[in-house]
Amino acid sequence: MSLPKKVLAFDIGIRNLAWCLMEHSETSWQIHGWNNYDLLAGESSQDAKNREKHVCHQCGKKAKYQSGGKMTCVKHCPPDRPALHDLSGALLTKIPTCKVLEKMLKPPPKKKTRAGYLSQMEQAFSLPIQVPKTTKAKSEDIAGLHDSIQKFVDEHKSLFQTATHIFLENQPAYKNPTMKSVQILLFATLRERLFPAIPFVGFIHAGNKVKGATGYADRKKGSELRIREFLEKDDICEKERWKNVLSGNQKKSDLCDAMCMCIDRLNAT
């Protein structure tokens, strides 16, 4: 194996698949990408969490309605699509039954199904937010996870192809078989999607991310402390940007684990 020059590292997860792409020269550290990805939501983990919090896209306050793919509070619903209300003008916080919707719609839709009613209703109103629950079965749907991993790698392909070396956190097969499956699917997808210029792809034991720390909780705390100190260094390019990325992310420990792997590999050269 040649010496790592530009390292891409992954901390394995389903709701928080953390990754970091870094390189180190004689004069500086350059971070090319650093984020958490939610495989079930198909977007960054923080964006998914913000959606779950139902934050208004304009004022940041709690959102109860959505229109045109954006979440909004009552005040900031579009003028042409006010918050859903009944015939008396009272606001509705839940989407009513088809029987009630039929009375509200004039003329009624051609397809008298719930989907048909809602399709016509969203043309005139901002509808109450409905969030489907994430079930355990969905998180263990290996085929679905594979599709999500392929989508994730395809979205970042041009960036990931610039790495000289890729490292994945090694998962225990018997202790956490689902995460082991995610690890192997990610390994295979990276090699498939980055063909023909495939970087070296290897594994890193979880205990090697923070030297001296024993146990899962200690490692998580140790990696976060280490990265906070690292980002204070003078030779970090755009360090304020990356400090903001860390402070603005709810799941900091996984982000820090991924960066620790990059630093250790690059320091070993």
Residue 61 is encoded by which pair of tokens?
């306050």
Task: Pick the range with the lowest mean pLDDT from 7-21, 85-99, 223-237.
Answer: 85-99
pLDDT at 28: 94
pLDDT at 229: 96
Q: Are residues 157 and 228 in the same domain?
A: yes
Domain assignment of residue 253, given as a range: 6-49+135-267
Q: What is the mean pLDDT of residues 112-128?
A: 88
Q: What is the mean pLDDT of residues 205-216?
A: 60
Domain count, the chain: 2
Q: Are residues 159 and 253 in the same domain?
A: yes
At which of 88, 108, 130 does a domain end? 130
DSSP string, 61-130: SB--EEETTEEE-STTS-TTSPBPB-TTS-B-SS---HHHHHHH-SSPPSS-SHHHHHHHHTTTSBEEP-
Q: What is the mean pLDDT of residues 247-263?
A: 93
pLDDT in tens, 30-40: 999 999 999 99
Q: Are residues 90 and 145 in the same domain?
A: no
Q: Does position 114 have pLDDT exceeding 90, yes or no?
A: no
Q: Are residues 28 and 142 in the same domain?
A: yes
pTM: 0.70
Q: Are residues 192 and 253 in the same domain?
A: yes
Q: Is residue 1 part of a domain?
A: no
